[in-house]
Structure 1
Amino acid sequence: MGALDEQRTWKVRQAPRKRFFSVATLARALPRRRAIKRLALYALVTITFYKLSKLLLPADHPVYLAVNWILVCIHSFFHSTSSIDSWLLTTKGSYPVDFASRVGILVKTGYGTRERLPAQLEALGLREWDPERAVAVADFAGELNLTVGTVPVRDAVGELMEYLEPRGWGGAERFKKYVPLRDAIVAGDEDRALSIGRNVGWELDALKFIWGLGILHKTTPAKDWYLILDDDTYIIPQSLMALLSHLDPSKPHYLGNSVGDYRGRFAHGGSAVALSRAAVDTLYRLHGDVTYEAHVNSLTETWGDRLLATTLQKIGVFVDERFNHLFNGESALDTRIWTDRFCAPLVSFHELKRPEDMRAVGARLEGLRGPVLWSDVWPLFGGGEMTGFNGRPMREGRDHVGKLTEGVSRTTRGVGTAEKCMKLCMRDRRRCLAWRWDSGSGECHTAPWMIVGREVEGAVAGINGAWAADLRDRCRG
């Protein structure tokens, strides 16, 4: 007997016994009501404990951080991302932002990746360098050529070394790794400098966050918002402004793609980080002891973006989890378009390591008006018509799944044909948006997202075109 037949039989059996049906329904509802009451009680206790811990404990105390994280989880339980996205897109913001004059930009680069910077700045529309708008920091000092003019690059690592050396930190291990790079650059030994820069550049990057943000804050006119970007990150200004226009810059805000555990939830640097005027002013003008401690901690902290978060925690500023799904840590072709993000504004791309990839993204999005949604990535970057998969459901030599996530994507082994893989996906229509079959291994991968993807030898892929088109049409409605 099929599921539909069982449902119909159940309805027939219950029809003449309405009183029993209502009693049974009430009986089933009681445990649910108790669970809701318990959840409300837990929330009340947590909020009370949060208020007490806020009064009695430092803002970066593990207990305070744990309680704060529980409150974030409770908020996420009761508020869907779609409700947040709707008011971002349909309500006019009370705090309009001019990207050209009211947003300061810090770009971090390195000697081993410096060829990315001109392409990034040009893609962002900064073809003429404006020192009142942006600062570029690295592990070297010099100038890089733009289409019009040059970009001065400040050696944040060298400046930090000069600052900390008289205070007894000149012998730090990271400074020992920096000095050979500096010496090779001064000696004009390009091959050696590149080799050192590419080997230790990721480690020296942790030294640039706090020092570089301080340079930006000190040397540019006061801004409403400050951005921190890696040199392979692209920002979509229209989407970012749609978000920032709803937030008061005179209040401390810390935004980005949050990762990590409750002790140090931080905005992933590659996905872009946004800080309000109040957050940056409070850190640099009122808490010199905290920034000094951060400079010292940068000598041992693995990730500079996590150091930024733990530093802000000390002054009571935490990453805002409501908007983390708007920031993206993947390239345009590899961006996973999740089913619950179709209608959300997309703020950033990452992993655009080749200058030609960065320029291509900038050219594709240049001139667009209004926010770019996650679902817009598909048509903008060559995904084609979604409903086209209904008539021609398989694409040979393509991949529309991308990297797999344990516990979310599914892998089925021993699948003999692409057709069988496609059928596995279509059976699970509300969990599978895209599938990929690998002819060599016979593995079928299904996922609740889709990517525009790249050419992959021996692969066959497709998407659930009807479901994807339905999700996209809801954004338009």
Structure 2
Amino acid sequence: MGPQRYWLPPALRRRRIAAARVLLTLFVLAGLGAGLFLAMLPHDATFRLWLNMRNREAFWTPKPHELKWLSRPAAYPINWKDDVGIVVKSGFGTQHRIPAWLEAVREVGDVVLIADYATKAGEHYSKHGRELPVHDVVGAMFEQGVFSVADLEHPRAQQYKNMSEAITRGDESAMQMAKDIGWGLDAMKFVSGLELAYKQMPNKKWYLLVDDDTYIVQDSMTLLLERLNSRKRYYIGNPVGGWALMFGHGGSSIVMSNAAVHRLYSPAFNHLITQTNHESLDETWGDRLLAKAFIGVGIYLDQAYSVLFNGERPRISWIRADRFCAPVVSFHGHSNPEDMRETGNTFRNLRKVIRWIDIWDITGAPDLATFRTSPQRRNWDHIGRLDERVTTSTDLKSADECHAACKAMRGPNWPKGKCLAWTWDDKEGKCFQSPWMIVGSQAEGRISGLNEERVSELAAACNPIP
């Protein structure tokens, strides 16, 4: 006999089918209800921001260090002169950086210089025969009536007024005022400055917002932009802050697609821009305020490319395991114009994609292989600035022990080793062990080196850039 089939009475079968249909209908209605609920939530609602965070952490979301985007074809070619608009943010107190920035950059088309003062006829800058005036985007907001009568009495508004009057008089006190209040005025330039740039360059595929001490590695940036469709809404940068308000660090450069900027400044959101400019009187960080504006139109910081952005100068850039082989698109912190010129002279004419580990060789650091035979560098430091991620040991007795401790550092999250560089302070008897390494500089009384086995392993794993 063959297997017996389970027989249901027709009435019972119909009831089960009807019940299944009801459950399916309820499931569909619940899904539609949830979707409608989310659609009705404001873009800056806590629940929506929490969902964005959970989605970034989910297993299906590619992680920045995986560099999966590199496998995409360069489907969207760009020409820097025609397709990329650069917004350089400066100020009266830092205007001495502008000439060095213009010298360091290789090739640009349209550049908009924004600040808290304006150059006069005959004082404008130039690049490749193009005249580049400095636009006072802070003063423009007062002239255009963005602020109310009450706003004009705000301390920051009064400070700007006093500085502007001193500039007009040619008073030397203007420079000291700019240094004292420049940070506060800087927060007022992001949204207003980007708006001016968009009005002047409405058809650019991409907009880069940079500080006057930020250097863009153009071939690395090209590698990224040619794999992204500028008709999609992209707001990309070096993430700072928490899940409730993650924003792109302005100094590391902020990348925005035409579609994103077009939406931000569309007439439908004029009220949002007005409100954001009003809030700039009290905001500390303008890059955070820009992120709030983007969130207000439903555009959130894309963190998929975060490992490309850098907030330091080349010799003190943190080369970490999660970005060892990744391209690097920016350097920051060139407060001294000569530092900017040096970076430009070093990288401008290389004509290739620069990875984080490439910084090591390009800046003249010792070959990684030499650390196997000569693991200690006297009067040097390969760690740099210390923070909570650096392990400090006071129970070790020598540079040899410090080196050994770095190589032995393991953990559940670092099965292959957490420490990449170590520094022994002979005077203080302290051993510093860091999850990054820098090219570094001379440091009297210190001995420094690398976890040469781990570093060599990371370097060997780097695949050629397509």
TM over 0.5: yes
| One-letter amino acid of the structure 2 residue matched with residue 347 of structure 1 | V
Write out aligned runs for 1:240-259 (5 A).
240-259=221-240
- Any stretches of 5+ residues in structure 2 without a counterpart? 1-30, 410-415
Contact 2:87 2:111 in 1 (8 A): yes
Contact 2:372 2:452 in 1 (8 A): yes
| One-letter amino acid of the structure 2 residue matched with residue 54 of structure 1 | L
Of residues 362, 380, 384, the one that matches 1:398 is 380
Q: Compute the displacement of 1:179 (Å).
A: 1.3
SS at match of 1:226: strand
Q: Compute the displacement of 1:115 (Å).
A: 0.7
Q: Compute the displacement of 1:363 (Å).
A: 1.1
Whether 1:463 and 2:446 are equivalent positions in the alignment is no
Whether 1:317 and 2:303 are equivalent positions in the alignment is no
CA–CA distance in 2 between the matches of 1:49 and 1:87? 34
Change (3 A) 1:244 1:51: farther
Of residues 182, 185, 197, the one that matches 1:201 is 182
Of residues 272, 282, 287, the one that matches 2:263 is 282
CA–CA distance in 1 between the matches of 2:252 and 2:147? 35
Write out aligned runs for 1:174-213 (5 A).
174-190=156-172, 192-213=173-194
CA–CA distance in 2 between the matches of 1:450 and 1:354? 23
Whether 1:473 and 2:460 are equivalent positions in the alignment is yes
Q: Compute the displacement of 1:56 (Å).
A: 2.4
Please provide the CA RMSD for this pair: 2.1
Deviations 1:256-314 (A, max 9, x none): 00111122110010110011001111111231111111111111111100000011101
Q: Which residue of 1 aligns with 2:40?
A: 56
Change (3 A) 1:322 1:100: same
Write out aligned runs for 1:63-462 (5 A).
63-75=47-59, 79-83=62-66, 85-88=67-70, 90-125=71-106, 133-142=110-119, 143-145=123-125, 151-164=132-145, 167-168=148-149, 169-190=151-172, 192-286=173-267, 287-406=269-388, 408-428=389-409, 430-462=417-449
CA–CA distance in 1 between the matches of 2:369 and 2:144? 60
Q: Compute the displacement of 1:172 (Å).
A: 2.2
Contact 1:345 1:373 in 2 (8 A): yes
Q: Compute the displacement of 1:64 (Å).
A: 1.2
Q: Compute the displacement of 1:148 (Å).
A: 6.5
SS at match of 1:411: strand
Deviations 1:235-276 (A, max 9, x none): 111111111111111111000001111221100101100110
Deviations 1:334-356 (A, max 9, x none): 11000121111101111111111
Change (3 A) 1:65 1:177: same
Q: Compute the displacement of 1:317 (Å).
A: 0.2
Q: Compute the displacement of 1:152 (Å).
A: 1.1
SS at match of 2:134: strand
| One-letter amino acid of the structure 1 residue matched with residue 52 of structure 2 | N
Give 1 or 2: higher helix fraction: 1
Q: Compute the displacement of 1:139 (Å).
A: 1.0
Q: Compute the displacement of 1:80 (Å).
A: 3.6
Change (3 A) 1:164 1:274: same
Q: Compute the displacement of 1:427 (Å).
A: 2.0
Q: Compute the displacement of 1:94 (Å).
A: 1.4
Deviations 1:162-198 (A, max 9, x none): 22366433222211111121111111123x1111111
CA–CA distance in 2 between the matches of 1:110 and 1:277? 26
Contact 1:386 1:466 in 2 (8 A): no
Counting aligned pairs with the same residue, the percent is 38
CA–CA distance in 2 between the matches of 1:351 and 1:247? 28
Contact 2:382 2:421 in 1 (8 A): yes
Contact 2:187 2:284 in 1 (8 A): yes
Change (3 A) 1:148 1:87: closer
- The count of aligned residue pairs is 422
Q: Which residue of 1 aligns with 2:26?
A: none
SS at match of 2:339: helix
CA–CA distance in 1 between the matches of 2:126 and 2:270? 36
Change (3 A) 1:383 1:301: same
Contact 1:346 1:372 in 2 (8 A): yes
SS at match of 1:265: strand
| One-letter amino acid of the structure 1 residue matched with residue 111 of structure 2 | A
| One-letter amino acid of the structure 2 residue matched with residue 64 of structure 1 | R
CA–CA distance in 1 between the matches of 2:160 and 2:139? 8
Contact 1:164 1:170 in 2 (8 A): no
CA–CA distance in 2 between the matches of 1:314 and 1:80? 25
| One-letter amino acid of the structure 2 residue matched with residue 285 of structure 1 | S
CA–CA distance in 2 between the matches of 1:74 and 1:240? 27
Q: Compute the displacement of 1:327 (Å).
A: 0.7
Contact 1:440 1:458 in 2 (8 A): yes
Q: Compute the displacement of 1:145 (Å).
A: 4.5
Deviations 1:130-155 (A, max 9, x none): 5xx11101111113545766531011
Q: Compute the displacement of 1:360 (Å).
A: 0.9
CA–CA distance in 2 between the matches of 1:156 and 1:448? 41
| One-letter amino acid of the structure 1 residue matched with residue 115 of structure 2 | A
Contact 1:134 1:220 in 2 (8 A): no
CA–CA distance in 2 between the matches of 1:100 and 1:50? 46
Change (3 A) 1:199 1:386: same
CA–CA distance in 2 between the matches of 1:79 and 1:278? 23
Q: Compute the displacement of 1:382 (Å).
A: 2.1
SS at match of 2:357: helix
CA–CA distance in 1 between the matches of 2:353 and 2:32? 39
SS at match of 1:275: strand
CA–CA distance in 1 between the matches of 2:81 and 2:127? 19
